[in-house]
Each structure stands twice: as C-alpha cells, then as structure tokens.
A and B are shown apart, each in its own frame.
Chain A
Amino acid sequence: MSFTTSSFFAFCILFFSGYALLRGRARGVFLLLASCYFYGSWDVRFLALLLASVLVDFSVGLALARAQGPRRRLVLAISLAFNLGVLGFFKYAGFFVESAAELLARLGWSVPTPALDIVLPVGISFYTFQTLAYTVDVYRGRLEPCRDLLDFALYVMFFPQLVAGPIERPERLLPQMAAVSRQPWRPNWSGIALIAIGLFKKIVLADGVHAYANPLSSPGSAYPAALWFATYAFAFQIYWDFSGYSDIAIGLARLLGVELMTNFRAPYAATGPSDFWRRWHISLSEWLRDYLYVPLGGNRDGAWRTYRNLFLTMLIGGLWHGAAWHFVLWGAFHGLLLIVARAVSGRIPLPSPRWARPLRALAFFHLTCLAWALFRAPTLEACALAFRKLLLFDGLELGPWLTHLAELRELRTIAAWFIAFVAAWLLQVLRPESSKELAERLWRWPALPRALALASLAYLAMLLAPLDPPDFIYFRF
C-alpha cells in the first residue's frame, strides 16, 4: 500500500477517523494495529518477521538493563546477530553466494550454486537500523530501556516511517510514541502542506521524469550528451522521489502529533561531500556516523585511519542500498570524494566569497551526478561504459543529438525538463531550505491562497499521474 495509491487514501480516512475518536492506550493499540495492517498489505508473511524483531529487541533492552559485565556484551551480540543475520539472509545471501561462485569460477573452480530466490521484505534495511540504534544506545548507557512493549512496538512499526524512514533515533521517537497513549492528540496541521508537496514531487516530478533516466541502463547506444541529460534526470528523479516520500511520511506523522527528523535539506546546494551528506538522506548519514564511523575510530587516530574509516563507512553505506557491486562502487566513489575533500581541506585555497558558492555547488553537483550514474547503471560493465561517455572520452556529440531530437519531435520535452532541472537546482542554491520549512511558510499563508496552492498541487498530482506509476525507489532497499 504505497502512499500514492487510492488504497492508502481510504486507509487514511478510516485511520484518522478512528484515531480521533479513541483516547489513551486504546489509541496506541489502534495505531499499532493500523501499522500492522499497513505493513501486512505488502506481504503478510513478513509481518511475523517484523514482530519478531520487535520482541527480540524489546527483550534485549530489558536484559541489558539487568545484565552486568561481560554478559552485557553477550546480550548485545544476540541482538546484533539476530538483526544483522536477518538482514544478511534476506538482503545479501543471494548476492554473496553468486559473487563467491563468480570469483571461484574466475579462479578455475566451478562450484554449483543453489538458486536462492529470496524475497526482500519491504523496509527491512530501515527498521533493522532503527532497532539496532535502540539496542546499541541502551548498551552504551545513553538510553533507559523501554519497559512498555506497546511503546517499543510503535517505535519500530510507526507506519508513516516504517517502510523507508526517516531512520529515527530512539531518544527522539520513543518519548513521542509513549505520548500517543498518554497525552492528548496535538496534530500539527502543516503536515497537510507537507503531504501535498510530497505527492507533487513524487507523482508529477519524479514519475514524470523517470523515463529520461533510462539511458543509464543501456549507456552503450546513447549519445554522450543524452547520457549527461539522463544523469541530471536521475539526480532529480531520485531526489524528488525520496524526498517526496520523506515529506509525506513527515507530514503524516505531524498530523498524528509526532515530529520526525528532517531527511533532506537542499542537497544539490552542497559545496562538498561532507556538506552533501549533511543534506542528503540525513537520517542514514547520521546513523552511519554514530553507529559505524565513530565506533571504527572516527577521526581520532590520525589521517590514514580517518581515511580508512571514511571509506569503509561509505562502502557499507553503498552496500546498505542494495546487494549489487554498482552500489558498492557508488559508496566507494563517495568515500573517495570525502577522503580527497578532507585531504585537500585547508591545503588548497578554495574561493570563499558569496558569488563563488553557487559555482562550487555546481561543480560538486556534477560530481554527485557521476556518482548517480554508478547508482543507476545495472552492472559494473554499464558503469564503466557510462563513465567513459560521461567523462567525454567519446566527445559530447551535442549537435548530432539535438538534430536527432528535432527529427523525433522530442526537443521541446527535453528542453522543458532541462529548464525544470535548472530551476530546481537554482531554487535549492538560492533558498536552501527543507520541505518542512517550506510547508510551514505555506501553512502561514491566508486561507484562500493556501487552499488554492495546496489544491493545485493535489490537482496536478491527480491529473498528471501516469497510468502505471513506478513505486518509490527506496522501497527496494
């Protein structure tokens, strides 16, 4: 039940009607049941896995509170083994088996591999990271274990952010989940504006442009200029798609009186890799920083160890996105960017006046686009081919491509989308605000212009919806 379906619309009508009528613990139980229904609508079999995750980590939290000395490590190891074991089996088993078989085949050993046809439970990467954050924080003594199963189940299964985040921290979300059953409902109505913005981003922009990212799947036959256009298209598609999803999730949570963290803040206004990761998928990058980079040693043990830790963190971040080598390569590329930026920082003077900032942002945006080509290309061979063309080893071939477009009557479409990309980029650079801030500003408008703006967004979303809309990109992860 995706956020953009009529099923979800009906679900929301029924859910919010019930939620408004109930009080106290009944309201919390109702929210949990609705979350179970929401998750089960994808594949009811995996609801058991999710509930098992809730029970294991709830028990681990309580056990950690009682355990002393080395037993605490053992209890934590149980949680890590369970969570990473489940994630590893469902997400990576096939990938590792195939990769090992391929490696052995290259070494001359032919090993018969079992056909692992494992279905990936939706949202597993997100909720696993969220439960891991809880057990690690309790282990570190930064968090009191949750003693109410309902509150903890809501922390893991809260339907607005269950499937694709934002990956919340227990110290932020657990108290808010506890408040659901104990305090009056205080909706933040600006969530309506966030939902409308998110729907518009996803349905009109992301779904509208998705066909133009296709050259990255078959870069061999593409004009180099067309491939650059495709990388721009994918850069904005994935941004509109995922930030649109996050906007809807945060908007829904606000209507329930819950504040989720900001997940995107004008990422293409970033002037360097560290800046980018403070703006893109913020909940994941902060998770990786706090639960991977810092435990690895962070920047405490000299330059080389820092570089190693950065690289490993980004490599694992890439693998988190999907069990494929091109995702690993994407992570490695970002790791290298972070290392280079750190190495040259302070040694090479970069222009710092205000006018230079957009130029630096534009330059870094193109590096980000190169990384997106790795993310979108389906194989390592396609990645290599795409990079060859994007780095202009075959020239740009802009003229022949434009002539080709004119013959096909595609020129105006391409021009219109290109203008949309430029406008969207300029908007991020000139007004680098999150959708939350935009929605709050919009919500403060007088009633009529506000209604006109929101209804226009909803109208365009309904009118321009493709007949077979693609699902949210991050649902695959």
Chain B
Amino acid sequence: MAVSCKLPRVLLGVLLGLGVLVAFGLLDRAIGRFEGGGPYRQEIPRPVAAVRRAPSARHVVLGCSTSNWFAGALRRGWRLGKEDVVDAHMSDCLQACTMAEARHLAALGRHFQTATFGVNAFEYCEAYRERRSMQEVELMPLERSLDLARVYWHAGDPLRYAGGWLLNHASVVYGNTMWMQHHVRKLWFGNEGLDGRWFRREAPPARPRKEAFRCDYAGADRDFGMAATRGALRALEALADRVQLVVLPDKQNSANTEEARLARALFAEEHRGLLAEFERVELIDLLDPALTKPELFRDGAHLSQKGIKLASSSLAKRLPRLPELARTGELAPPGGSPP
C-alpha cells in the first residue's frame, strides 16, 4: 500500500527534478556554444552544418580527425571541384559515432555517390569516454537507437554504454559541455594545481614525455570495435552508393618490429574479412611500406604534414574509378560504368 500511495508523488518529484535538470542542461549548452566552451559538444553540429551548406556535394568524408585530409585527396584523385566533396569528419568521432552521423545525415534526406571513412588500429583501443558516447547518442536518430544497442552489446561493459545513452537522453548535460570547467574554473581560479608546482619550492622534475595513443591491437576489445565498424559500414551503405573504407596506419604499429608487422597484418586482414559482408564497400589499404614509418606521425595516431602529403598522394592514386552520374542527374546505381 505504501508503495502505491506514495509512488505518484515521488514520480512527480522525479519528473520535476528531471525537468529542472534539462533546463540546466539547455542553459549550459547555450552558454557553452556561445562561449566556445564545449569542444566535444560543439563538434557535433559542425559537420552536419557543413553538409547542409553543401547541397550539391556528391561525395562525403566521415570518420574522426585521422580522416581530416581525405577531402583534398578525393578532389585531386577524381579531379573534382571544391563543392563536390564535403568534409564531414568530426574530431573524436570513432566508428560508432560515424555510424550515428551517417544515420543522421541519411535521416536529413541526403544521399551521396561515395562516402569515405578511415580507421586505424588505435581506434580499437579506446576505452569508454563520456564525450564520445555523447557524440554518438546525440547524432543517432532516436528511432535507430537499436543500431547503437547492437554495437554496445559487444562491449566489455555494455551497461556503461547503456547508462551513458540513458544519462545523455535524460539530462542533456551528461557527457559534459565543459563550459564550467573551461571557463569558470580556469578563468576564475587560474591554474588548478594539477601540475604539482603549487606546493613545491622548486619546479617538479620533468616527467618523461608519455607516449600517447599506445595500443595493443591484438589484445584490444576488437569484438566491440569490429561491431562498431560493421555498424558504420552498414549505415554508410544506406547513405551512399559506394563506401570506401580506408585502412590507416598508426605510429606504434608502423614500427619496424615483428610485433608491429603482425599487428598490421592482423588489422588489414580483419578489415578485408569484413568486405565479404557488404556489397558496396571498397577497401583502400594504406598500410604499405612507404607510409608505415613512425617518423611520419605527429603523435601516436595522426600523420604529420609530411605524412599527410605522402598519404594523400597514395590515396589519390588508389581511389577506385568513380561511377558516373546518370543523365537524369540522379546518382548512378552501385558499380556504375567507368568514366
């Protein structure tokens, strides 16, 4: 009895609390966008707006920051104009996020001749991050949430992703706009004692520079990563006539060691294996000896300017021939005639 009598009152309280939370979230989001405070959240509308601003674009680039040089390579390789290719890559947007972005763009009614996205081994080593979860949850149309659930099911801790999804939808704040952290805390408080200088007479001894983006691909949670890549390819097939999956090198696995060679081979083989499940996906393997050199990287995952130049030229040369547009102006069917 006690439960049934009090429950409506408690539910009302909870709903009221959620309403207040959403109001806080919306306020925070508005301030965050205005002040440039929430880099991860602000990244979400940027590529979508880029696609909206390019109504005549026939080729789209997705993926994370490791794919940020693809657009130029596509234009050069296919001799296209600037307006033909839209760069919709998004910082921090891993495979599940690319899947959500592709579904989002498809829901906006867009369709492309080709969609290109890249992955490297490092992306299979990423642990759960609230901000990444926020990007995919916000981008994925609600009616396609099961696509995310199918990917999350393969994670080591599916509840963590499910919780992130729920919190993002329930609060609007979860995942962090970082406005408070970037602006109030840093501007008002100054430094936050994190470097350990505040209490020492002398500066602390310099720590050896930590090698960021280390990844043991063979030991990574590849089941989850592959499920996400598979989901992304499926979503991209719905967005474009042809999908180009670019297999990218990373610094650690570009080393001239037996371990790195084995990891590269496994990475490439597993992605080639994926193709059997798709009709309209082409694989472009950039793990060739000219590009697998640690000195071509500015950090563990991103190519340096020199590396980009080399990779861009390599990608332009390896692009499959472009299917022609049909005379009606509509896109050619999959596997259309060569130019």
Tell yes or no: A120 within 8 A of B by CB: no
In the complex, the chain A residue whose C-beta lies closest to that of B170 is A9
In the complex, the chain B residue whose C-beta lies closest to that of A400 is B201
Instruction: List A residues 436-454 near B (Cβ within 8 Å).
Output: 447-448, 450-452, 454
In contact, B3 and A448 (Cβ under 8 angstroms)? no
Residues of B within 8 A of A20 (CB): 3
State whether A10 and B162 are in contact (beta carbons under 8 Å apart), knowing that A41-B157, A189-B10, A451-B13 are contacts in the complex. Answer: yes
Instruction: List A residues 1-19 near B (Cβ within 8 Å).
Output: 1, 5-11, 13-14
Residues of B within 8 A of A465 (CB): 130, 176
State whether A221 and B191 are in contact (beta carbons under 8 Å apart), knowing that A6-B160, A6-B164, A7-B157 are contacts in the complex. Answer: no
State whether A463 and B163 are in contact (beta carbons under 8 Å apart), knowing that A186-B2, A412-B190 are contacts in the complex. Answer: no
In the complex, the chain A residue whose C-beta lies closest to that of B188 is A412
Tell yes or no: A212 within 8 A of B by CB: yes
In contact, A451 and B16 (Cβ under 8 angstroms)? yes
In contact, A221 and B204 (Cβ under 8 angstroms)? yes
Q: In whole Å, how far is B144's beta carbon from the nearest beta carbon of chain A?
A: 19
State whether A405 and B198 are in contact (beta carbons under 8 Å apart), knowing that A9-B167, A416-B189 are contacts in the complex. Answer: yes
In contact, B180 and A8 (Cβ under 8 angstroms)? no
Tell yes or no: A347 within 8 A of B by CB: no
Residues of A within 8 A of B1 (CB): 184
In contact, A454 and B204 (Cβ under 8 angstroms)? no
Bound CA span A213–B157, Å: 32
Q: Produce 1/0 per residue, A141-159, CB < 8 A to B.
A: 0000000000000000000
Q: Produce 1/0 per residue, B171-207, CB < 8 A to A.
A: 1011011011100000011111110111111101000
A residues adjacent to B (C-beta < 8 A): 1, 5-11, 13-14, 20, 41, 184-187, 189, 192, 211-212, 214-215, 221-223, 226-227, 229-230, 401, 404-405, 408-414, 416, 447-448, 450-452, 454-456, 458-459, 462-465, 467
Residues of B within 8 A of A413 (CB): 189-193
Tell yes or no: B336 within 8 A of A by CB: no
State whether A184 and B3 are in contact (beta carbons under 8 Å apart), knowing that A6-B160, A451-B20, A454-B17 are contacts in the complex. Answer: yes
Option from A6, A221, A448 in Cβ contact (under 8 Å) with B202: A221
Option from A185, A408, A416, A455 in Cβ contact (under 8 Å) with B21: A455
Residues of A within 8 A of B161 (CB): 6
Bound CA span A154–B191, Å: 47
Q: In whole Å, how far is B112's beta carbon from the nearest beta carbon of chain A?
A: 34
Q: List 7 A-B contacts (CB under 8 A).
A: A6-B166, A6-B167, A9-B167, A215-B199, A447-B16, A462-B173, A464-B181
Q: In whole Å, how far is B83's beta carbon from the nearest beta carbon of chain A?
A: 38
5 residue pairs, one from A and one from B, having the closest CB atoms:
A6-B163, A409-B190, A10-B163, A226-B199, A455-B20
